[in-house]
Amino acid sequence: MSDELDDDLDLDIDIDLDDEDGDGDGDKENGKAKAGKKKKIIIIASVVLLLLIGGGGGAAWFLMGPPSKQKSAELDLGQPVSVDMPVVRTDLKTGACRAPFVKFEFSVQLSSNDVELLNAVQPQVMDSIRTHFRDQERQDLVGKQGTLQLKSDLAAIINNMIRPAQVRGILFKDLLLQ
């Protein structure tokens, strides 16, 4: 029974407190006031945004300084030269009686200014290469990946000996893995 009374007493009362004279013009004035406030907020927000962008750009210009001419430095590496190295033949690491071996002949590409440095340390370089490859196994040097690893190891050994000069490339003339 109380549910029936609630349904019957469903009243919509809409009281406009802003409308002082009771003529219904309060809704129109209220909408205009809200629209005016929105426009003011948008204008203020856009002005603040422009000031932030302009201020940030000005601050960056003052911190970094005005654009200056690019300074460039030229480094003369000399013409690349190929230096032939002696043939390397060394046994590879194995547990069997008959050890596999690697035999290769290669050239080192480096700057023409660094040729004398390589020639001065060539005996130490060759000794280091032979010692390094005695610790390698045959399966480590097989295939394309093995050849790339061989070049990388040779470049690292030579770079270590002729520091601060750098090897530009390693070229194989002959490579035999047995």
Tens of pLDDT along 81-113?
888 899 988 888 776 667 788 888 999 999 888
* 10-34: average pLDDT: 56
CA distance 70 to 75: 16
Instruction: Tell me the per-residue pLDDT of 26-50, one tens digit each, with 9 for 90 and over.
Output: 566 676 777 788 888 999 998 888 8
- pLDDT value of residue 125: 92
Total Cβ atoms within 10 A of residue 117: 16
Close Cβ partners of 83 (under 8 Å, ≥ 6 residues apart): 107, 108, 109, 110, 115, 118, 119
Say whether pLDDT at 15 is over 50.
no
For residue 124, pLDDT beyond 90: yes
Look up the pTM and report it: 0.54
Q: Which helix (H) or strand (E) holds 111?
A: strand 101-111
